[in-house]
Structure 1
Amino acid sequence: MPDIAVVVDRMLARFDVSRSPGVDRALACTNGDPGSWLVPTAGLLRASWNGEGKGAAAAAAALMGLALDTAAHDHPERARWTLHLWLAEHTLSALYGDYRLSQEVRHRLAAQTQRRAADDPVAVAATYPDLPPPRHFEAVPPIEREAERLVAGLPQDDLSRATLLNRLAQAAYQRYESGNTAALTDAWARARAALTAVTPDHIDAAAVGRTAAYAGVAWFRLHLQDRSAVEITVRAGRLAVDAVERARGHGAPYDRYEAAIGHFVLATALMSASADHLNLATVDEAIAHLEAFRTEGPPDDRGMYNVNMASMLGARGFLAWSPEDVTRSDELWAALERDLPDGHPMLPHIAHKREAATKMIGLMRTVPFNMSRLVGAVKPLFGDVLTELPPLQLDVPLAPPGYTSPGTGAQPGTAGYAGGRGFPDAAAQRSASAAPMSAAEPVWPPGPDAVPDPGPHPGPGPVDEPHRPSAPSLVDLPPDAAAAWRSMVASDGTPLDPRLLALAEKQLRARLAQPGPDDGRGWTASVLVHILVAGYTLRNDPTDLERAIRSGDEVLADLPRTSAHYIDLLSTVEGYRHSYGVLRQHSETVERAVSALLWAREHLPEGSLPWLGVSIPYAHALSDLSGLLRDPVRSAEAVRIMQDVSRWLEGLPEEAAVVGAEPVRARLRSAFDQVHRAVLTTDAYVRADDDAFTTAEDQWDPASEQLLPPTARFENARLALGRAMESRRWDRAADAAAVALEVLPLLTSRALDRDDRQEALRIAMLGRRYIMAAPQQGAAGLPDQITGTSLGRTGCAVAIAAGRTEQAMTLLEQGRAVLMSQDLEARTDVSHLAEVLPEEATRFAAVSERMLRAESGSAGEESARVREQHAVAKEWERLLTDIRAHPAFKRFLLPPTEQQLLEEAAQGPIVMINIDPLRCDALVATRQGVRHVPLDVTEGRLADTAQEFLDAVGTDRDSPQEQEQAREVIFGTLEWLWDTVAEPVLDAAGLTAPLPQDTPRQAVPRLWWSASGPLAHLPLHAAGYQRKSQLAERRSVLDRVASSYTPSVRALRHARQAAARGRAGGSYLAVAQPTGGGKGAGASAREVASVAQVLTGLRTLDGPDATPARVLAELPAAALVHFACHGVSDAENPAASRLSLTGGPLSVAEISRQRLPHAQLAMLLACHTARTDRLPDEAIHLASAFQVAGYPQVIGALWEAADPASARLTDQFYCSVRGYGSGVDVRHASRALHEIVHGLRTRYAKSPAVWAPYVHTGC
């Protein structure tokens, strides 16, 4: 088990916090038994709830995550760990507004459902807390009963009891509101149990209080004799208010809506109390909380304030014998009666109320003294009146789009009755000024000042004429800016290129610095803003968005409002200002953008293309503002606008649908579909309509997005994948992953520089949700680089969860070694193509050569080089399209199909191991098909194990005790790998027994490992019970099969094709540098001498001759190359991993660009030549670089190899592969290495780190 303190410190580093006293106390209470961690975890959560900060909650998440990763699958406390992990994330997001763990925790929770029945308590614990409320009229789902059983089995002091009981109470209350009156009994019982279980500091105390208050009021209305219900209800209402205020006191970001609802439920509880025993103080307190609700609540309160305030004013009028209060009550009833639609069920009730109020006012004028104290005596006389007066109304279902209680300005009412404080009035905004408003000035960025209405906009003509976008032609832009603009709006796979964006920015700023016509400045500035925002899209750095908005503001400040392109620029800037405001959750900034976009929209001809182009972002901004303010009125308006836009889009004449060669209507429709989905989702959220919310989220349709840029299509698919995973819809998740992986190659186009391709892939595969700021030096170690997941692995995991084993294998293959596969494409054997399509084969050779030159060229102007790379990339895509048009080459250079994958398993099983937080599985491909092997491991456990293992093999230790501890870690890891991964896989592959001792080398079966994630750092080929006393048992991979590795099946297929071409000739090359301490030669001299004894005519570069330039010059003629020098793995930039030579490094990127026609075998016994730290699924390391360059077989090392072992291995290996005469036969290189490592294991039986690093990659 990893060091608990290290795991917690690593989590704290992710949140940029240090240990608090509470964390120190919790760590002091932990031991090696995860079952004992619940007590310190509960302490951490309580500390976080009571103001100790997010660090305590993050530490709780770390402890529970570690428990789930390391303990047995059937551990009795797993359900409680799952619930406490959920509580930890809930605390971070709800109490601190920090969502950086949200997706990761959701992934972990989903993992707890795998390989479990739906009624398993662990699966219930992982699912029920996040389930949406039941739909109206929905039957009780089985999981609700299972959740009840789960709660019954929890200790009374378990922190999750209150949360679960509250969710159960809410579900029952929802059914009661749907008409199932019997469900109220369950709701009230569960709510009371939750209220008993909760403490005032609990994260869900406010929610428990609200639920219990609502249920209590409903219960009392039907059970007036139950006086205890009133007391419990009032106590629940007070908890709802106090819990929010308590959390706010600790800095919790509770919005006004949360506080408002607390005041409302307490007011309704007090109203129940006043109905039970008429008391003026109780009524006054209820009125005060209604006023607080009005102050804190949303503008559209669906009449909740008016209907309840009317009742309470009537009650107070009676108790205080105040005709004024009764008159105010009647005025509020009158306002409701006037505003409700005909036939509304509340109207008869209101009429009775008004009639009673009229009688009461007459009585008060007749009787001058207060008769409320004589209510018992006069009740028979005034029975008809009094029964109308006790108020008890809750929420009033009014017609959409909603209802704002009147109460502004001169509206009658008690003090504080003026409504909407703190919330802007949309109607007032519209009438205040026809220009962009400045009243809601955001903190940042400022934007242009309000300006007078410039009058009719001199833009497009009447709406019945065909309209053209007001932007000039792209020929008016500088060349690089025009090219960048095309790449931003194209849907043909043209990628966003950071180099091109930088060149475009430089050109556009230079143009803006020169005097010129206003129209040109407006258009130039608009393009500049879009270019800068494209940089934000690539880098995910908010400062890029800030620079874009500031740049636009600067030009807007000087641009005349009558300029033809003022509205174009204004709309562009404000659209992105809206995005920035949402990013910062700053409603004033979003409101500023909404006002400006409204002004722009009103100054364009309705129905014109420019009007449509502004209406879509306006509706989007308005919708997001409604979400920030919980304002259904604005949300309903955004929905209405989108409906109008849809009708206008469909009604556009054909001549207006295309401008030049651009399908404008189609592009607007694609943009519309995206925004429409977001607007509907926000509207459902604001209205708390869970059914509509789910429906809106489900509207993702990849077929409608074909005209969107690849980045947008990819991100939409990835978001759909995440949503499907949260709702456990594995089929939909697999479909979304397949779409994203299909688009992925467009994001890593050959038009990009190699480093930019690598960065684009990192963001795409790991996802924006997993990107973290670079940790401080030493603050977070390797697991932060090798944990997490990638799109390919997640796609494979969800496909397996959906029962699609074959698709899982395909998705995993698509997501592995993407850059390597692209590099290998240009080196594909085209002999068959040349037979069928000789002209295309010739073009293929020419374009691939041109592409290689474009990638490696460093001389000349940057702009020209970028344009050449983009041009040749387009030519490459056109060529592939032409080739695939022939029936025999439909899948030319496409990812392999399932059948093609199985064909590669003819020479031995191929084991694709998927390591994902959701689940871990092996897919074993043999001639007979694919076998799925579920693995009893977790991604987190593997990551920590990999870290411990690499520490143990990578550090020299002086003391015998430290050396022994390191050996134990290594032996233990190899045994664990055997039990959990290797043995189940070998059994599935039919390799169920050790090989006979006398098995000939050529008869040793072979197997190819293709591992992912943290497992790629561990020596699967060495897994087993390897202690000297256990070797006779022969429980190890070495005793059953000869192992090879391959980054992907495509890489293996390419290697086999390269080896099959039977390249003749070629020399032998050895490159040596000192590998000993200081300047000592180490084993390098002995290695080279061993090679020279076997290979006649060996060309040796050592010492000052072993420079990168000399090595690159010699490699094209070398069939076999042996490097006896140090290698370095670069964790941050894998392409910069390198061999250390005289005068400088020889990097992965430089090696990959070579084309080596005679290559057969590369020996790289330097350290870290076959390991990737940053992107393990990409296999960007020295061994794969030599494969790309042309070597079908590479022998390397996973970690620094011991000099004596490397020298011995070299000597024995070349003797083993020596052929007739002076040559070598490397066809059985993997079996030769297997045999030698077997012998090294015997020789170095006490030191597994010495014999285990050597690996064979390739065919």
Structure 2
Amino acid sequence: MVAQSTEARFQLLGEFVDLQATISLRRRCLALCTQNVDVTQLFTNQSSLCTNLCWLFQREKNYDIITEAISHGRSSLKIAEPNSSDFLTASSNLASAHHSRFEHFGSEGDLTISIELLRGALRIAEGQSDQSQLALVRNNLASCLRGNIRQNINPIGVVLECIALATLSIEATPRKSHDFPSRQHNLACLLGEKFCQRGDLRDLDEAIKLVEHLLEDSNLRLSSELHASFSQTLGIFLVLHALAAYRKALEILPQTMLLGKQYRNGGILDAHNADVGLDGAACSIECGKPSLALEILEHGRCIAWTRSLQTRTAFDSLKEDHPGHADRLIQLGEMIEMVGTEQSRAEERDGRTTAPSVDLEIAPWEQSLSYGRQWDALLAEIRAMPNYHDFLLPAKYDDLRAIASCGPVIVVNISTYRSDALIVAHATHDRPQIVPLSRRLVNDVRQWYDILSKGTADFENGLVLENHFNEAILGPVLVGLWEGIVRPICDALRLLAPYARRIWWCPTGQLTFLPLHVVTNSPDMLDNAMLLIPSYTSTLSSLLRAAKATGTSTSSTRILAVGCAKADGYTDLPGTDNEITSLVKIFGEGEVTCLTNGDATVERVLGSLSEHPWVHLACHGTQMHERPFRSHFVLRDRPLYMSDIVAHKLPEPSFAFLSSCHTAAGVPSLYDEAMHLAAALHIIGFRAVIAAQWAVDDSTAPRLVREVYSYLNNGRNPAQIPHVEDAAEALYHAVCALRRHGVPLSRLAPFIHIGV
């Protein structure tokens, strides 16, 4: 009787001392019952001890405790008469003990035994009149089967059985019962599992409502532990709901952000202000799905370039198997690209500089939407054919992780919900490594961006001195990037890839405008103890594409060197002539085709690109924020627009050095679209591009160019071309060399490397 009283008090008040006293008393009684061979008391104490020790195990997590509980449970089951209520109780208690051991130690055998015991108990309970016992068994069986869902060959069948059992259990459980909250919570979790299996948001909505009712009902008087547990479940469900919404939004983004409207009006602006891809990735990480986070970022960023890449894909197998479909797809792709770029080219031909009228805006947009729908419909038709089920589908992590063969790729996701780095390396084969970053990072990045964007503008316009820019503007931003982002990532890399030589940054949000490359090894590029060679990539898919591409020319370098020192309305650039002279001196006149000053026209440059795998452009560069496709290089006769570049198809582009201002600047309102001239060169096939994030100093550029090309040409066999894969190392070597010779960081920091 005393043991029953202390047990009841423990259940009421939850005092651990009462549980200890109960177990001690039960053990004494059990010893007495064994001596006196009192079978009834022996069963009672064995069965109760099994339950009491399970409670103790929940607190202590000690393997010996749960093993003792199972031992007492088995003894009580042997004593009980088959098919009796005692047998039912013993089966349920022993099943709970095995299930507890499975949950904490992962033994599949324990789970199997637990399910078998409860199925037997259910058959007994269904033949008896005790509805409360029947409800208990059904709930427990549903809980055990839930642990076996993922391993079952028919997971959705198991989920449906669990939901049916849990529903019947709740129907037989009074709302005032102390078991009601945990049983309703169990049903909610099962509905959440059903959502994960089938993706029907109605199941998740119902699960959320069930948990919300538990938390809102003051009559239930939940313990602090249950309230915390239910709140955590609700949080997970809400994140899953948000993630489903993000994934749905990403499915329709290519339709609503088609090229034509995006390039001319910035129609992508409102959607990107919502940071759909970034927040969706944050939700995925919160759910413990970093691989999905990477897929979402891949799908939700650089949408314009992804569509353009698709239109440029060589449909070799499709052309061979289904030539009609291939021709239609290529034609639609060209139409989509034309709508996005034709108006910019038309304005250039007509000499117009003002925005077109409303009528001119509407018609291309309607055309683009129509072409986009036709494109998606045709893709659906192709994917229904044998062996084409995944044709042009967004990349999965199983495909993206192949990029680890190049070296570690670090995707830095910045979201209002959470910020993390996702590292893809050889050591992260199954899933990306998560490096959690500060939750305030989204505000820090916004502040660093504001400081640097205003500072660079003031510096270019002569409003601040170079020393002030380096010490009061650039310096603090670099320190913040190092402490808040790069240092924790480098700490992780020392474990994941201790022998890595190169890394690729894939930043998101406003971080795409900040110089992570400068602080890859240290805040000032002077301490190079780790010596990682930094590069950038807008997406993992674009880097994979560049890594797989190989040039066919092996007999010569064939560099096209374009220099335009004078242009109407622009300041002279005498340093460009020095750059061209350096190229000829390093590679020889036979390797370099020079188009300078009067020869540097749009027609001649475009006509020469197809004959030269390497191109060097030394001229003014202009980034157009409102109309990105009007961004251009300033040549002698007229601007060479981004639209001209993207419309061009080259046989074997390899390397481009853009010694021009703002060629990797991008558009602030389209920070995840990489809308700059460097990306345009990369998209038409150049495997590696060196470009500048802000203004280039005309006196420093020739020195940097000479260092880069000298490094690439050093020790080369004249019969071989330099390796484009060495361009990143050449740039890093050049920057460090000039830094050691006292060149201010402000003149070197703008230069970045994109691609292989």
| Smaller-chain TM-score bracket | 0.5 to 0.7
Percent identity reads: 27
Please tell me whether residue 987 in structure 1 is matched to residue 481 in structure 2: no
2-structure distance, mates of 1:760, 1:1089:
40
Cα gap change, 1:1086 to 1:921, in 2 (>3 Å) = same
Q: Partner of 2:315 in structure 1?
A: 830
For 2:578, give the aligned amino acid.
R
1:1217 maps onto 2:712 in alignment: yes
Return the match for 2:306 from 821, 825, 849: 821
Q: Give 2:531's match in structure 1, choosing from 1011, 1030, 1040.
A: 1040
Any idea what the Cα deviations from partners look like across 1:745-801, whole Å, max 9, x if unmatched? 12134xxx624466475245235xxxxxxxxxxxxxxxxxxxxx5111111112222
Change (3 A) 1:991 1:1169: farther
Deviates more, 1:886-895 or 1:755-764: 755-764
* Per-residue deviation, residues 1165-1201 of structure 1 (Å, max 9, x unmatched): 2111112122111000000011122212111011112
Instruction: Give the TM-score, by structure 2 length.
Output: 0.60
Whether 1:893 aligns to 2:392 is yes
* 1:814-963 alignment runs, 5 A limit: 814-834=299-319, 840-841=325-326, 844-849=329-334, 852=337, 857=342, 873=372, 876-927=375-426, 929-936=431-438, 937-954=440-457, 955=459, 963=467
Rounded to whole Å, the distance in 1 between the matches of 2:280 and 2:551 is 33
Decide whether aligned partners of structure 1 residues 1005 and 1036 sit closer, same or farther in structure 2, where only a CA change above 3 A counts: same
Are 1:1202 and 2:697 matched, yes or no? yes
Q: How many residues in Structure 1 have an aligned counterpart in Structure 2?
A: 515
- The one-letter code of the counterpart of 1:1014 is Q
- Residue of structure 1 in register with 2:278 after alignment: 793
Q: CA deviation at 1:1225?
A: 2.0
1:685-834 → structure 2 map (5 Å cutoff): 729-749=238-258, 754-756=260-262, 759=265, 761-763=267-269, 765-767=271-273, 790-834=275-319
Secondary structure of 2:582's counterpart equals: helix
Note if contact 1:1171-1:1181 (Cα within 8 Å) is conserved in structure 2.
Answer: yes
Find the partner of 2:639 among 1145, 1149, 1158: 1145
* CA displacement 1:176-230 (0-9 Å, x = unmatched): xxxxxxxxxxxxxxxxxxxxxxxxxxxxxxxxxxxxxxxxxxxxxxxxxxxxxxx
Write the distance in 2 (CA, Å) between the matches of 1:832 and 1:919.
42
2:503 is aligned with 1:1007:
yes
- Residue aligning to 1:786: none
Measured in 2, the distance between the counterparts of 1:746 and 1:1129 equals: 26
Tell me the residue number matched to 2:66: none
Equivalent in 542, 545, 549 of residue 1051 of structure 1: 542
- Are residues 1063 and 804 of structure 1, via their aligned partners in 2, closer, same or farther at CA, if it must alter by over 3 Å? farther
**C-alpha deviation, 1:1243, in angstroms:** 2.9
Q: Residue 1070 of structure 1 aligns with which residue?
A: 561
Report if aligned partners of 1:1068, 1:1120 keep a CA contact under 8 Å in 2. Answer: yes
Give the partner amino acid of 1:1224: I
8 Å Cα contact 2:521/2:528 also seen in 1: no
Matches within 5 A, 1:222-301: none
The 2-side partners of 1:725 and 1:1059 are apart by: 51
Distance 1:145 1:748, change over 3 A: closer
CA contact (8 A) 1:1217 1:1224 kept: no
1:1088 and 2:572 correspond = no
- The DSSP-based 3-state class of the residue aligned with 2:660 is coil
Q: Would the aligned equivalents of 2:561 and 2:595 in 1 still touch at CA under 8 Å?
A: yes
Q: CA, structure 1 residues 804+870, in 2 after alignment: closer, same or farther (shift >3 Å)? A: closer
Map 1:441-840 → 2, pairs under 5 A = 729-749=238-258, 754-756=260-262, 759=265, 761-763=267-269, 765-767=271-273, 790-834=275-319, 840=325
Q: Is the 8 A contact 1:1038 1:1234 kept in 2?
A: no
Equivalent residue number for residue 708 of structure 1: none
Q: What's the CA shift for 1:848? A: 4.0
Cα shift at 1:946: 2.0
Work out whether residues 329 and 378 of structure 2, in 8 Å CA contact, stay in contact via their aligned partners in 1.
yes
Q: Does the residue aligned with 1:1121 lie in a helix, a strand or coil?
A: strand
Q: Does 1:1126 align with 2:620?
A: yes
Letter in 1 for 2:443: G
Tell me how far apart the structure 2 counterparts of residues 867 and 1080 of structure 1 sit (CA, whole Å).
Answer: 43
CA distance 1:1246–1:1155, shift in 2 (3 Å): closer
Per-residue displacement from partner, 1:1025-1079 (whole Å, max 9, x unpaired)? Answer: 757xxxxx98867843111111111222232343377799894322212279975
Alpha-carbon contact 2:621-2:660 (below 8 Å) kept:
yes
Does the 8 A contact of 2:501 with 2:533 survive in 1? yes
Q: Which of 644, 665, 670 is equivalent to 1:1171? A: 665
Given the alignment of the two structures, is residue 1106 of structure 1 paired with residue 611 of structure 2, yes or no?
Answer: no
Q: Structure 1, residues 796-851: CA drift from partner, whole Å, max 9, x if none? A: 11222232222211111111100010111111133454565566545555554555
Q: Determine whether 1:135 maps to 2:198.
A: no
For the pair 1:1228 / 2:722, whether they are aligned, the reply is no
- Residues 1238 and 1139 (structure 1 numbering): CA distance in 2 closer, same or farther, change over 3 Å? closer
For residues 349-378 of structure 1, give each alpha carbon's deviation from its aligned partner in whole angstroms, at most 9, with x where no partner exists. Answer: xxxxxxxxxxxxxxxxxxxxxxxxxxxxxx
Q: In the aligned structure 2, how far is the partner of 1:1122 from the partner of 1:1163?
A: 5
Relative to structure 1, is the Cα distance of residues 1100 and 1174 closer, same or farther in structure 2, using a 3 angstrom cutoff? Answer: farther
**Is 1:1240 equivalent to 2:731 in the alignment?**
no
CA distance in 2, matches of 1:1101, 1:1183: 20
SS in structure 1 opposite 2:700?
helix
Q: 3-state DSSP class of the match of 1:1117?
A: coil
TM-score by length of 1: 0.37
Alpha-carbon contact 1:828-1:1054 (below 8 Å) kept: no
Q: Does 1:1251 align with 2:748?
A: yes
List per-residue Cα deviations over 1:1122-1162 (Å, max 9, x = no partner).
11011122233333322222333222233222211221111
Q: 1:1100 to 1:961 in 2, by over 3 A?
A: closer
Do the aligned partners of residues 958 and 1035 (structure 1) sit closer, same or farther apart at CA in structure 2, a change above 3 Å counting?
Answer: closer
1:792·1:816 contact (CA, 8 Å) conserved in 2?
A: yes
Residue 516 of structure 2 is aligned to residue 1020 of structure 1? yes
Amino acid at match of 2:726: A
For CA contacts below 8 A with separation 6 or more, give which structure has more relative contact order.
2
Cα offsets for 1:96-126 (capped at 9, x unmatched): xxxxxxxxxxxxxxxxxxxxxxxxxxxxxxx
**Conserved? CA contact 1:1056–1:1192, under 8 Å:** yes
Which residues in structure 2 correspond to 1:124-163 (within 5 Å)?
A: 135-139=216-220
1:758 and 1:819 in contact (8 A); partners too: no
Give the equivalent residue in structure 2 for 1:307: none
Return the alpha-carbon distance in structure 2 between the equivalents of residues 832 and 1057 of structure 1.
18
Q: Following superposition of structure 1 onto structure 2, how do residues 287-366 of structure 1 map, counting pairs within 5 Å?
A: none
Q: Structure 2 vs 1, CA of residues 1185 and 1083 (structure 1 numbering), >3 Å: closer, same or farther?
A: same
SS of the aligned residue for 1:1019 comes to: coil
| Residues 1198 and 1254 in structure 1, CA contact (< 8 A), matched pair in contact too | yes
* 1:1191 corresponds to which of 672, 686, 690: 686
Q: What amino acid is the match of 2:733? A: I
Q: Structure 1: state its 5+ residue gaps.
A: 1-130, 148-723, 768-788, 996-1003, 1028-1032
Question: For residue 135 of structure 1, what is the amino acid of its counterpart?
Answer: E
Deviation at 1:962, TM superposition (A): 6.6
RMSD of aligned alpha carbons = 4.0
